[in-house]
Structure 1
Amino acid sequence: MRIRATVAAATGALALSAFVVPAAHADAAAPSRAEVAKIFAAAHAASGKTGFRAPAPDDDGPYAMDVKFSNLKIVKSVKVGPTAHVATSVTYTMTHGTDVDITAYDFFTEPFLYRGSYTLPDNFLFGYDFATCTVTSATTAACKGTIDIYPNEGDLLNPEAGTWHVGADAIAFNGQDPTSTDFDFTKVGFADNGTLGTTLVQRGTGLSVNAAPEPVKKGKTLTVTGRLTRADWETNTYRGFTNQPVKLQFRKKGSTVYTTLKTIKSDSAGNLKTTVKATVDGDFRYLYEGVTVATPAAPAGDFVDVR
């Protein structure tokens, strides 16, 4: 239900990704994934657009449905490791005309993420299921959906870390049966908005620390080592994160506050190593503050007994 958005989007591949019929809407007459894909393949061909948009009402494709989206909320950043599934909740308000039946078994709405231009995106991310909506008035509903990311299934490439745009869409089949010879594309409604917000999709980072020797005599030298790693979405592993500024911090025994002692940079393998003088008992840790494409990281402190 997720697919990389390339020029092939015009063939309907995105439609197959976007409108998988979830279990909550399962019905004997509900359109299949392949049938939905055919609809959007025709819509894209009729509109001459490669992005995920509805054609004009007079095109030979779905008509522009009277549905609008607003008040979309999503987390500021999404941390994605190398393998584990990540689910991100999205809420939004859906406003519709009185002629749109959002309670119909073949009406669907969902949030999505995309990177790049909406008319020619680099990638789209959708949810495994469609959003669920609670009717709040005759023409409005409060909707909640989920964006699902599976890095171990090829959802993301490493260069795609950073800012993603957030949108929402809706489709109404209006009782049309795509398997029927009487199926009419122009009676299927579609609406979308790709400018509802942004979020960061970041590569997860890992950070370790070890201070030695332990215990240590007061005034002697401590060597503090560690390693900074970053999720590689293409190999599904953590790899060394090179040439990054990392702070060495110390927290005196009994205190709750860490103080920065110095800043060093990770080497070509992500390794960290520096020395300090042992003065009092306490915890040493490394702190990485993160960048747009990678998350912050801070391991638990390594306690050193100074004698």
Structure 2
Amino acid sequence: MRMRTSVTVAVGALGLLALAVPAAQANGSYGDTAITKVSVNGGKNVVVGTSLVKKFTVAVTAKDNSGIKGIDIDLEGPAFGYLSPDSTKCSGSTCTASFTVDPKVDLPYSNDVAGTWYVNVWVDAKDGDYNWKDKAGTFKFQRAASQTVNAAPEPVKKGKTITVTGKLARANWDDFKYHGYTNQPVKLQFLKKGGKTWTTVKTPKTNSTGNLKTTVTATVDGYWRYSFAGTASTPAVNSTGDFVDVK
């Protein structure tokens, strides 16, 4: 597998797939063949960082009264992103394609491919029926993120001010480093000592370098954290909780 991001390569690759499709028919079927289920990465987003190789699978289930002969699967994303599988194995009416993404090989200068991706499927039945469908499934292909927090001073007197700082960063596939994610709303949350539920206190935004800074009043012992809800290109992430002892 290789990630393809240039216009020429992506169109060429998709053109090869299109040779099996009847003229003027990007989506279609013949006979009773139907696609019944598409599952990407076990229902989880595909999140890729700056160095570790990411492996994931796409499983497609189909039906036909004669049985399923085989299923071809490929993936398309923003900025002409394209992924073809390393291998595809079938068991009964379900075929599972394995994909591998090495960020330093497949993603250099490719931040724009992060976002919503689609699964394209071609199903062949044993009796010659078929079903071809663009965007048979969807998933998020995302840049890994990190979130930090520091609440100070520790300990602090009741009624005094606590300053909570942190930084939201995400993988950059241009230089394979983490850079601050700017102008993003991040929830400041509090968990009382002995409690079970985090409560949102404020929602500040990251500055031009991804940093966060806000103040709260010390009332009781507990943990402070920053919680980012995520975007199409970046997953949700929580910092660890920073405990503050209130005297």
Instruction: Give TM-score scaled by structure 1 length.
Output: 0.66
**1:110 touches 1:127 (CA, 8 Å); kept in 2?**
no
**1:67 touches 1:170 (CA, 8 Å); kept in 2?**
no
Gaps of 5+ in 1: 15-48, 59-64, 103-107, 136-140, 172-189
Higher relative contact order (CA 8 A, sep 6+): 2
CA radius of gyration, larger in = 1
Q: CA deviation at 1:56?
A: 6.2
Task: Kindly provide the CA deviation profile for residues 18-61 of structure 1, in whole angstroms up to 9, marking residues without a partner as x.
Answer: xxxxxxxxxxxxxxxxxxxxxxxxxxxxxxx8463125689xxx
Equivalent AA in structure 1 for residue 8 of structure 2? V
Instruction: Give TM-score scaled by structure 2 length.
Output: 0.80
Worse overlay, 144-153 or 280-289:
144-153
**2:169 touches 2:178 (CA, 8 Å); kept in 1?**
yes
SS of residue matched to 2:232: coil
Equivalent AA in structure 2 for residue 289 of structure 1? A
Gaps of 5+ in 2: 24-29, 125-129
1:268 corresponds, among 208, 213, 237, to 208
In 2, the alpha carbon distance for the partners of 1:286 and 1:263 equals 9
Q: CA deviation at 1:297?
A: 1.0
Equivalent AA in structure 1 for residue 76 of structure 2? Y
Could you say which residue in structure 2 is the equivalent of 1:149?
101
Task: Kindly provide the CA deviation profile for residues 204-236 of structure 1, in whole angstroms up to 9, marking residues without a partner as x.
Answer: 211000111111122222111110001112221
1:73 corresponds, among 30, 34, 39, to 39
The answer to which structure has the higher strand fraction is: 2
- Relative to 1, partners in 2 of residues 1:284 and 1:56: Cα closer, same or farther, differing over 3 Å? closer
Task: Kindly provide the CA deviation profile for residues 143-169 of structure 1, in whole angstroms up to 9, marking residues without a partner as x.
Answer: 122232222213371112211110234
Could you say which residue in structure 2 is the equivalent of 1:7?
8
In 1, the alpha carbon distance for the partners of 2:115 and 2:132 equals 23
Aligned length: 232
Identity over aligned pairs, percent = 38
Task: Kindly provide the CA deviation profile for residues 126-159 of structure 1, in whole angstroms up to 9, marking residues without a partner as x.
Answer: 232x221113xxxxx2212223222221337111
Q: Does 1:133 align with 2:90?
A: yes
Could you say which residue in structure 2 is the equivalent of 1:233?
173
Root mean square deviation of aligned Cα: 3.1
**1:3 touches 1:125 (CA, 8 Å); kept in 2?**
yes
Equivalent AA in structure 2 for residue 298 of structure 1? N
**2:60 touches 2:94 (CA, 8 Å); kept in 1?**
yes
Q: Does 1:83 align with 2:51?
A: yes
